Amino acid sequence: MGWEVQKTAEFVAKNSNEVRIDREALVRFAHNLFAEDPNVPPWNRVYHFCGKPEDMVSYLLVLDSINFCFWPEPGRKKWELVYNSQRLFGYYAMAASIKKALEEGVPIINARYLAEVSLSELKQILDGKGELQLLEERRTILNQLGQVLLDDYKGSACNFVEDSRNSAVRLVQLLSEKLGSYRDIAEYSGQKVFFYKRAQILVADLYGALGGGGLGSFIDIDMLSCFADYKLPQVLRQLGILCYTQSLAKKVDQRVLLEAGCPEEVEIRAGTIWAVELIRKELKRIGVDLRAFEIDWILWNMGQHKEFKVKPYHRTLTLFY
């Protein structure tokens, strides 16, 4: 079990200076989860586009290519969208924005359109209230995605996914090789650390949306780690599983920007991955066989509740999460 993501996360977690994992809190959480008979959250079909499988694959590739950084600059309002009379924030707002565009006839999943989409067109698609950072970068990412699909895959997202030959690991590696914004790799103490957050989440989304069949079928889906973002460590910290030094806690709580790739940021993300891996192992030991990405889904859904927002999440301006 495990590949380079878990292995390098373990290395960082065992050498961290600013972040540690509280094993007692971790075991307590695993046993509480076991007592509650955990249900893996089902795929959300309200805010995600659902249609022909090939269109869903294209939709998810677009969505996960720009699925990052939903928090605003200090003093600005969080980006939000009203969809079907519901106020949505963050990821669900992004999912619904692209779904809404498709419903209105915008060819946002067409490779040629993606290769040429302008900033003003993207702003219309992501029209809402508040601030969504890195819009220019999102446009560039979509342009690159469209061009890669045209150049290498006859304009087809399905051809891209089929190139993985039903391997989750191979699809993650293809995304990282072909599209720079998926190349989520850092360095720590002279060693490369692999996160691949958005690449891995695309694999899991394909699996969830397509019910583990067709292009959502992966022979090595168990190899995925959790997806190291800013919401999961917030939840793990509230649970007492991730513990920060006083200096790091102060930075996070005061919303001080952590530079992408700095030791503190790498330790938070790697600690998150390794903590979830330890939760997975403890659950398995007591009779619950959940995969890391399923534990991720449980924790992420917990993070939508106010009791897990007592302390802020760390802030890093990045394309990776």
Q: Which residue has the tokens 């997202």?
A: 157
DSSP one-letter code for 19? E
| Structure tokens belonging to residue 318 | 């990045």
When mean pLDDT is compared across 35-44, 107-116, 297-306, the lowest value belongs to: 35-44
Over residues 133-185, the pLDDT tens digits come to 999 999 999 999 999 999 999 999 999 999 999 999 999 999 999 999 999 99
Instruction: Using only the alpha carbons of the chain, give its radius of gyration.
Output: 19
Residues that are catalytic: 229
Q: Write down the pLDDT at residue 38.
A: 84
* Predicted confidence band of residue 1 (pLDDT cuts 50, 70, 90): very low
Find, among 106, 180, 107, 172, the residue nearest to 145 by Cα.
Answer: 180
Q: Write down the pLDDT at residue 151.
A: 98
What type of residue sits at position 34?
A: F
Tell me the Ramachandran region of residue 258: left when phi exceeds 0, alpha when psi lies from -120 to 50, beta otherwise: beta
Q: Write down the pLDDT at residue 236.
A: 98
DSSP lists the bridge partners of residue 187 as 192
Whether this model's pTM surpasses 0.75: yes
Q: Where are the domains of the chain?
A: 4-308
| Structure tokens belonging to residue 53 | 């499988």
Q: Write down the pLDDT at residue 2.
A: 58
DSSP lists the bridge partners of residue 244 as 19
Whether 269 contacts 195, CB under 8 Å: yes
Over residues 188-244, the pLDDT tens digits come to 999 999 999 999 999 999 999 999 999 999 999 999 999 999 999 999 999 999 999
Q: How far is CA 190 from CA 8, 99, 193, 287, in A?
A: 12, 42, 9, 38
Over residues 290-320, the pLDDT tens digits come to 999 999 999 999 999 999 999 999 999 999 9
DSSP one-letter code for 166? T
- How many degrees, rounded to 5, is the angle at CA 292 between CA 288 and CA 296? 105
Over residues 40-78, the pLDDT tens digits come to 999 999 999 999 999 999 999 999 999 999 999 999 999
In angstroms, rounded to a whole number, what is the distance separating the alpha carbons of residues 315 and 234?
A: 11
